[in-house]
């Protein structure tokens, strides 16, 4: 794995971990569980990442003539 890729993956990892940590900390600070809205936001974020990945997969398949 080249260094640029490793850095990209590490930054993505840190960003995900940071968001999760902030969410859990915020919930504990206010003394209530993570809300449905916050979970919806996480689920929506995953939906967006899914769509983006699928678009790239299809674009690359088309480029290869597959």
Partner 1 sequence: MNRGPGTLDHPRSFRTSAGSPARARGHATATGLTMALTMALLVALMGVQGCQALGVPAAQTFEERLAAGFTTVAGIREGAQIMLNSKAERARAITDESRRNAALLSAADDAENLQEQADNLRKGLDIARTLKDVDFKSAESRLTATVTALQALDKYLKEQR
Contact residues for partner 1, defined by CB under 8 A? 1-2, 4-5, 8-9, 12-14, 16-21, 23-25, 27-28, 33-34, 38-39, 42-43, 45-46, 49-50, 52-54, 56-57, 60-61, 63-66
Q: Between vectors from CA 12 to CA 44 and to CA 51, what angle results, nearest 5°?
A: 35
Write down the least CB distance from residue 3 to partner 1, Å: 12
| Nearest partner of 34 among 23, 19, 21, judged by Cα | 23
**Other beta carbons within 10 Å of 13:** 10
The minimum distance between CB 51 and partner 1, in angstroms, equals: 10
């Amino acid at each position: 794995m080249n260094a640029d890729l490793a850095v990209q993956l590490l930054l993505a990892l840190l960003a995900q971990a940071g968001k999760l940590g902030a969410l859990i900390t915020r919930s504990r600070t206010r003394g209530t569980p993570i809300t449905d809205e916050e979970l919806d936001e996480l689920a929506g974020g995953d939906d967006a990442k899914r769509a983006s990945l699928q678009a790239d997969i299809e674009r690359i398949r088309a480029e290869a003539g597959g």
